[in-house]
Amino acid sequence: MNRRMSQRRALRRIEGDLARSDPRLNALFIALTGLGGDKEMPVTEQIRTGPHWLPARRGTADPPPGG
């Protein structure tokens, strides 16, 4: 089992525990999920991941022209 699969299982287990411990909260989560489930996430709310978004480390980027 890879790491991604184990993380999904852990999240499902947490989700199930929360749903059993507080049915009203679970109903709210279901309602909120249903409201936006068919819509694409706005670009302003998306979180970019991976090395392409990390700023260059100080000292590793090319020096500015003439510098």
User: What residue spans define the domains of the chain?
Assistant: 1-35
Q: Using DSSP, state whether 15 is helix, strand or coil.
A: helix
What per-residue confidence (pLDDT) applies to 12? 92
| Length of the chain, in residues | 67
Question: CA 5 to CA 7: how far, in whole Å?
Answer: 5
Report the share of the chain in percent with pLDDT over 90: 24
pTM of this structure: 0.43
Give the torsion through C-alpha atoms of 15, 17, 18, 21, to 10 deg: 160
Cβ proximity of 58 and 51 under 8 Å: no
| Tokens describing residue 26 | 């679970």
Could you read off the pLDDT of 52-62 as tens digits, one per residue? 655 666 655 55
Q: Could you tell me if 37 and 30 are in contact, meaning their C-beta atoms sit under 8 angstroms apart?
A: no
